[in-house]
Amino acid sequence: AEKFLDIKCRKAKLKPSLVCVVVTAKALKLHGESEDYKNNDLDALKKGISNLEKHLENIKQYNSPCMVCINKFGNDYKDELEYIESWCKEHNYEYAFDEGFAYGGKGSVDFAKKVVECVNKDNKFKLLYNDSMSIEDKIETICKKIYGASNVVYLDKAKEDLKDIHNLKLDSYPVCIAKT
């Protein structure tokens, strides 16, 4: 999302009407290090929901309307889905279930209605950083605000590359950070 919001939206002058984070019980269990995501594993799901929380915290920084789409499948466990729903309520996140996988368009009606409701909310979308900032400041902003870094340390080769960017007068370009 950071790359889309900070690069694509900036260059195409887009203002997203809504950012929708899609989640499944299976994915949350895997993020919670479930040893067998096919079984009911509420403890792993509770642990894995921190991944969803971080994504939503990141999206909040852009001031765009945001919601959670809980992608529901027939083999999901009721208590796990209830936990995701209660977590969204507790943290004041808009959410809707989507059962499109099982029921096609009819299974997505509630989700679609919630999308319409959310896109009609106040939208004060803003980019994470300004074009006028130095490349180093842009990198630091992304690292700290999105990835939770406390500081940024550059290798000598990176310092040389940054000098080249300055000399070529490319400082106004957006920054794309690839995690490896």
Instruction: Answer whether residue 179 shows pLDDT above 90.
Output: no
- Pairwise CA distance, residues 83 & 126, whole Å: 31
Is the pLDDT at 52 greater than 70, yes or no? yes
- The tens digit of pLDDT for each residue in 63-118 reads 999 999 999 999 999 999 999 999 999 999 999 999 999 999 999 999 999 999 99
Provide the whole-model pTM.
Answer: 0.89
SS3 category, 22: strand
Task: Tell me the pLDDT of the chain averaged across its residues.
Answer: 95
Query: Does residue 180 surpass a pLDDT of 80?
Result: no
What pLDDT does residue 178 have? 81
Averaged pLDDT, 26-32 = 96
Cα–Cα distance, 102 to 129 (Å, whole number): 41
Q: What percent of the chain has pLDDT over 70?
A: 99
- In DSSP terms, which residues pair with 70 in a beta bridge? 23, 97
Is residue 126's pLDDT more than 70? Answer: yes
Whole-number Å distance between alpha carbons of 172 and 89:
40
